[in-house]
Amino acid sequence: MAKGSDHAVDPTVAPGLTSGDPAQALLRALDRLALVALGALPPDPTHCPPGTQALVLVGPKGGHSWWQEITTSPEWRDGRPDPIDRWSHRVLAALATRFVGGAIYPSDGPPYPPFQRWAHGTGRMWQSPVGLLVHADAGLWVSFRGALAVPFSVSLPASANPCGDCAARPCLAACPASALTSSGYDVPACRAFLNTPAGKDCMSHGCAVRRACPIGISHARLSRQSAYHMRQFHP
C-alpha cells in the first residue's frame, strides 16, 4: 500500500484538511480531478492503516472531463510508459496526504488488493448478468483508479441493483463474438474476433457489451478513449 505521507503533495491539490465536513471536501476534491467516489465501505485492516474509518473506491467521472484531465497531464505528455497509472498514483497519493490517509492501487501486489470484493461491499456495485461489475450510476463502465483509506466516515446514497429492473438485459446478447455472455468470458474468442474486420467496431469504440448497458450511458467513454484502452488490452 502506498501511504500518502510517503509522497510530496501535488500542486493541484491544496494541502491540509479543510474545515467543515471532510467527507464533502474529499468528494469536491475528487470532482476537481474528474474522479468520483464509486462506493465506500468499512476499512479492511489488511490493507488500511490504523485509524481508517472508511475505504473509498475511486474511478473516473463519466463524459469527457476525465479523459481531458489525463491527456493534458504531465504523465501523458512525457512519453514514458503507463501514463494513466502514473497519473493515478500521483493524484491519489496527494489526496491521501491532504486527508491524512492512505492510497491503495489495483496494481499493488502480489498479493493484490481485493477490489472486486470491496466493490460488492459498498452496496453500490453488483455482479451483472454477464459477470462484469455493474455500478448504480456507471453501469458496466465501472473501473477503478484506486482507493483512499481515510480517517473519517463517508456516506454515499444507497441504491438498488439496476439489473433487477432491467427486463431487456441487452448485455446478454450484445457481444458480436459471443465471447462475453452469462456463461462467462472466453478471452481467446474475444481476442480472435478483435483481429477480424468485424472487430474494428469494438477496437474503435469499446466493448459492445459495456456499451449496451442502459445504466451507464452518462459514463460512456469517448471513442478515442475507448480505442486507447482497447489497444492496451489487445495491441
HSE-up (13 A, CA, CB side) for residue 115: 22
Assess whether 8 and 120 both reside in one domain: yes
Evaluate if residue 2 carries a pLDDT over 90: no
Mean of pLDDT values over 63-82: 96
Tell me which residue of 228, 232, 227, 170 sits closest to 202, measured CA to CA. Answer: 227
Give the torsion through C-alpha atoms of 134, 108, 69, 233, to 10 deg. -60
- pLDDT reading at 161 higher than 50: yes
* Residues 209, 106 share a domain: no
The mean pLDDT value for 30-37 works out to 98
Q: What is the mean pLDDT of residues 10-22?
A: 56
Q: Looking at the structure, do residues 30 and 137 belong to the same domain, yes or no? A: yes
Give CA–CA dist 160/157, Å, rounded: 10
Q: What is the mean pLDDT of residues 9-30?
A: 70
Give yes or no: residues 195 and 93 share one domain.
no
User: Is 42 in the same domain as 103?
Assistant: yes
Whole-prediction pTM: 0.90
Domain shared by 124 and 182, yes or no:
no
pLDDT at 93 over 90: yes
pLDDT digits (tens, 9 = 90+) for 120-134: 999 999 999 999 999
Tell which of 123, 158, 193 closes a domain.
Answer: 158
* pLDDT of res. 8: 33
In the chain, the largest separation of any two C-alpha atoms, in whole Å, equals 56
Judged against a pLDDT cut of 90, whether residue 164 lies above it is answered with yes
For 168, the grid coordinates are 431487456
Residue 84 belongs to what domain range?
Answer: 2-158
- Same domain, residue pair 123 and 174: no
- Considering the domain architecture, whether residues 11 and 92 belong to the same structural domain is answered as yes
Question: How far lies 29's CA from each of 42, 92, 112, 145, in Å?
Answer: 21, 10, 26, 15
User: What's the confidence (pLDDT) of residue 219?
Assistant: 87
* One domain, residues 138 and 168: no
Pair (125, 174) in one structural domain: no
The residues facing 139 across adjacent strands are 135
Whether 152 and 225 map to the same domain: the answer is: no
Whether residues 190 and 128 share a domain: the answer is no
- The answer to whether residues 189 and 202 touch, using CB atoms and an 8 Å cutoff, is no
Per DSSP, the residues of 172-220 read GG--TTS-EETTEE-HHHHHHHHTSGGGHHHHHH--HHHHH-STTGGGP
Q: 116, 154, 150: which is closest to 37 by C-alpha?
A: 154
Q: Which residue, 131, 158, 185, sits at the end of a domain? A: 158
The Cα-based distances of 139 to 128, 147, 213, 221 in angstroms read: 9, 19, 6, 12
Q: Which of 58, 65, 86 is nearest to 74 (CA)?
A: 86
Domain count across the chain: 2
Among residues 136, 158, 180, the one where a domain terminates is 158
> What pLDDT is recorded for position 5?
31
Give the orientation angle of helix 22-32 with respect to helix 83-98, to 10 degrees.
150
Could you tell me the pLDDT band of residue 19, with boundaries at 50, 70 and 90? low
Other C-beta atoms lying within 10 Å of the C-beta of residue 198: 11
The count of other CB atoms within 10 Å of the CB of residue 17 is: 13
User: For the chain, how are helix, strand and coil distributed in percent, rounded to 5?
Assistant: 40, 15, 45
* 12, pLDDT greater than 60: no
